[in-house]
């Protein structure tokens, strides 16, 4: 679908020679931290930002040479809201359908169908200003589907929504992918989202795709489980533990030792004994199956969201957005 | 399909206008301020409330009424640009730009929508002014009046869109109004007769497209003008064509 797609903003390379191929009917996830280039990539794919280099094709149409054909075959739900809040929900859908040249009867029928799909059938005639964040998001998804797109882009579909609403939106997305047989490309920085929803996940960082596979396979690449150890001096132990044949990988994350081992249950007592022989005190031990977060850490050495800082930044961003309204 | 898209964009502008009761109310209130307060106040400075214009003696309120009509078209036309900036700010412009509608059609839809709203406001003002005793055009002159209103509105909506495609912040728009549009208004002879103004001011006014718009409106409504009406219409039309082309060009190149 894309070939060496690149976009630079002055010196900054936001998307760096990305090669991606997404299959028809697939639910594909782009997982990466804020600023990884996800939105820039989407903007290029939906023809509103010209690539600096490389090319991309959607449903056989080139995004630069045949933008109109591309636009006809895609639906987009942007990260930031793009509804007209002075119109009603139904009017927003109707505006969209008219822009795609749908006849009146079909417009009405499709709007009813989709409002029901996203659970807004009773609020369809209310002004969008009266909608909650989750309702707006659902309406935007419905709108993106009005013209029967073959490919749907969802840029951070659940950003800033409460867990319950997120869950509901996940269900809608899965329902769509199966019922309407739509190819979906979604971006997210929530690893649970990518893990739960997507057939395949591409991990993107610094504008590059650094890993691409099914979530289960990505996790399997880490070979085994992760044992978290709380010790007084984690950095000092990295070298020692790396020599042990028990240990596949080892990292220090937020003051904890993350140790990748084949079989967690049997490795724990051995690890603890090993450390105690060295005179180290183990304060606590945890065991878990690897998540996509661990996959990300193993490739980049960083977490997707550094808890304090990035979380605060995101809250700031949401607040700024709220203030702009 | 493109025609349907143009109609859709137009319809949205009309819906916005009709639903925005504050704006409709302001449209009514503004002429009362200008004509009612400034107009009545200033007409006291003229003997019998009458002024010389193009060899006629006419009521100052009638004279100023046409100026205020022109002002409304100028301001609300240019203001159509701010709607585009809000659309950029609130993201709706993205929804428009990812649809398979050509930029040209989007531009045409916005121009028609903005111009229709400006003309509706102009007509409201004419009604409000008539309620204060300002002369309305003769029935046979109504087509000519509307004709001038359309060309003025289309030209300045295009100017507004040209500005909007280069700017990104709606807050910058009042600046545009103050630096570009207010001078056009003051230099157009809307509030005073140009034939008695100092020479340098007259010279500047010749380069102001709005001068010809106001003069043309006066010809249509009051029956007298400083320039021949063909010159008014021709100059205005030429400006409108340039404005539409420039607006269209900048709109095509707009990024968000």
Q: What are the sequence ranges of the domains in chain B?
A: 2-252
pTM of the prediction?
Answer: 0.79
Instruction: Specify the pairing of strand A247-253 against strand A225-230.
Output: unpaired
User: What ipTM goes with this model?
Assistant: 0.81
Mean pLDDT of B15-37: 80
For A68-73, the CB contacts below 8 A with 24+ separation are A68/B100, A68/B102, A69/B100, A70/A46, A71/A46, A71/A47, A71/B98, A71/B99, A71/B100, A72/A100, A72/A147, A72/B100, A73/A149, A73/A150, A73/A151
Task: Flag if A84 and B12 touch (Cβ within 8 Å).
Answer: yes
Give the chain B residue whose CA is nearest to the CA of A127. B19
Task: Give the pLDDT band (50/70/90) at residue B48.
Answer: confident
A249 or A122: which leads in pLDDT: A122
**A261 burial class (0-12, 13-18, 19+ CB within 10 angstroms)?**
buried
Distance from CA of B112 to the nearest CA of A (A): 16
- Res A222 pLDDT > 80: no
- Res B95 pLDDT > 80: yes
- Res B221 pLDDT > 80: yes
8 A C-beta contact, residue A6 and residue A53: yes
Give the chain B residue whose CA is nearest to the CA of A63. B98
Task: Give the pLDDT band (50/70/90) at residue A8.
Answer: low
A200-205 sheet: strands from edge to edge: A74-77, A151-155, A183-188, A27-31, A200-205, A208-213
* DSSP H or E run through A20: strand A12-20
- Nearest by CB to B256, from A48, A69, A100: name it: A48
How many cross-chain Cβ pairs, A to B, lie less than 8 Å apart?
Answer: 66
Task: Flag if B94 and A48 touch (Cβ within 8 Å).
Answer: yes
Instruction: Tell me the chain B residues in contact with residue A83 when contact means C-beta distances shorter than 8 Å.
Output: 91-92, 95
Mean pLDDT of B146-161: 94
Please check whether residue A68 touches B, CB under 8 A.
Answer: yes
Q: Can you tell me which residue has the tokens 């400075």?
A: B45
- Nearest by CB to A48, from B5, B12, B97: name it: B97
Please check whether residue A103 touches B, CB under 8 A.
Answer: no
CA distance A102 to A111: 11
CA distance A24 to B74: 52
Dihedral sign for Cα B96, B97, B98, B104, please: positive
Task: Flag if A82 and B255 touch (Cβ within 8 Å).
Answer: no
| Distance spanning both ends of chain B, measured CA to CA | 25
8 A C-beta contact, residue A247 and residue A274: no
Task: Give pLDDT, residue A308.
Answer: 42
B-contacting residues in A 33-52 (Cβ below 8 Å): 46-49
Task: Give pLDDT, residue A9.
Answer: 57
Instruction: Tell me the chain A residues in contact with residue B90 when contact means C-beta distances shorter than 8 Å.
Output: 81-82, 84-85, 324-325
8 A C-beta contact, residue A292 and residue A201: yes
Task: Flag if B8 and A101 touch (Cβ within 8 Å).
Answer: no
Instruction: Tell me the chain A residues in contact with residue B20 when contact means C-beta distances shorter than 8 Å.
Output: 86
Task: Flag if A99 and B8 touch (Cβ within 8 Å).
Answer: yes
Task: Flag if B98 and A85 touch (Cβ within 8 Å).
Answer: no
Task: Give pLDDT, residue A12.
Answer: 62
HEC letters along A178-224: HHCCCEEEEEECCHHHHHHHCCEEEEEECCEEEEEECHHHHHHCCCC
Helices B60-89 + B2-19 axis angle, to 10: 110
Task: Give pLDDT, residue A3.
Answer: 56
Please check whether residue A323 touches B, CB under 8 A.
Answer: no
Neighbours of B142 (CB within 10 A): 13
Mean pLDDT of B96-117: 90
């Amino acid at each position: 679908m894309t070939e060496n797609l690149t976009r630079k903003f002055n010196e900054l390379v936001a998307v760096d020679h990305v090669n991606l191929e997404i299959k028809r009917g697939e639910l594909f996830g782009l997982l990466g931290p804020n600023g990884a280039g996800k939105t820039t990539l989407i903007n290029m794919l939906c023809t509103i930002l010209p690539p600096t280099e490389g090319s991309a094709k959607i449903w056989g149409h080139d995004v630069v040479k045949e933008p109109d054909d591309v636009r006809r075959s895609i639906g987009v739900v942007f990260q930031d809201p793009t509804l007209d809040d002075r119109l009603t929900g139904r009017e927003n859908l109707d505006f969209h359908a008219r822009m795609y040249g749908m006849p009146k009867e079909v417009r009405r029928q499709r709007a009813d169908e989709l409002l029901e799909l996203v659970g807004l059938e009773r609020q369809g005639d209310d002004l969008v200003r009266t909608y909650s964040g989750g309702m707006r998001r659902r309406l935007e998804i419905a709108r993106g589907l009005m013209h029967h797109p073959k490919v749907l882009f969802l840029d951070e579909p659940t950003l800033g929504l409460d867990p319950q609403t997120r869950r509901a939106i996940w269900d809608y997305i899965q329902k769509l992918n199966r019922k309407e047989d739509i190819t979906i490309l979604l971006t997210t920085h929530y690893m649970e989202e990518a893990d739960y929803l997507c057939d395949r996940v591409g991990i993107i960082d610094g504008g590059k795709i650094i890993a691409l596979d099914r979530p289960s396979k990505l996790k399997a690449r880490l070979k085994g489980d992760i044992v978290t150890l709380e010790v007084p001096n984690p950095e000092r132990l990295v070298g020692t533990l790396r020599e042990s044949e028990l240990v596949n990988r080892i990292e220090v994350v937020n003051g904890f030792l993350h140790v990748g081992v084949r079989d967690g249950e049997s490795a724990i007592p051995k690890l603890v004994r090993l450390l105690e022989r060295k005179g180290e005190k183990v304060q606590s031990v945890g065991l878990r199956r690897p998540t996509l977060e661990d996959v990300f850490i193993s490739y980049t050495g960083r977490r997707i969201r550094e808890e304090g800082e990035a979380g605060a930044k995101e809250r700031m961003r949401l607040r700024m957005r709220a203030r702009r309204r | 399909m493109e025609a349907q898209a143009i109609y859709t964009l137009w319809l949205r502008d009309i819906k916005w206008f009709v639903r925005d009761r504050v704006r409709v109310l302001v449209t009514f209130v503004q002429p009362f301020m200008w004509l009612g307060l400034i107009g009545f106040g200033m007409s006291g400075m003229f003997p019998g409330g009458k002024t010389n214009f193009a060899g006629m003696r006419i009521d100052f309120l009638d004279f100023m009424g046409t100026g205020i009509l022109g002002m409304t078209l100028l301001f609300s036309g240019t203001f159509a640009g701010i709607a585009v900036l809000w659309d950029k700010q609130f993201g709706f412009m993205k929804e428009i730009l990812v649809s398979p509608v050509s930029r040209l059609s989007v531009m045409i839809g916005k121009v028609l929508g903005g111009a229709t709203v400006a003309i509706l406001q102009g007509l409201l003002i004419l009604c409000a002014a008539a309620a204060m005793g300002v002369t309305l055009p003769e029935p046979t002159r109504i087509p000519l009046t509307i004709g001038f209103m359309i060309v003025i509105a289309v030209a300045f909506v295009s100017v507004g869109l040209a500005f909007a495609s280069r700017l990104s912040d709606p807050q910058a728009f009042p600046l545009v109004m103050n630096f570009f549009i207010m001078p056009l208004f003051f230099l157009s002879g809307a509030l005073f007769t140009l034939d008695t103004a100092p020479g340098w001011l007259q010279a500047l006014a010749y380069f102001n497209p709005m001068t010809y718009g106001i003069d043309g409106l006066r010809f249509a409504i009051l029956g007298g003008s400083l320039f021949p009406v063909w010159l008014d219409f021709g100059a205005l039309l030429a400006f409108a064509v340039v404005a539409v082309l420039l607006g269209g060009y900048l709109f095509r190149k707009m990024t968000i």
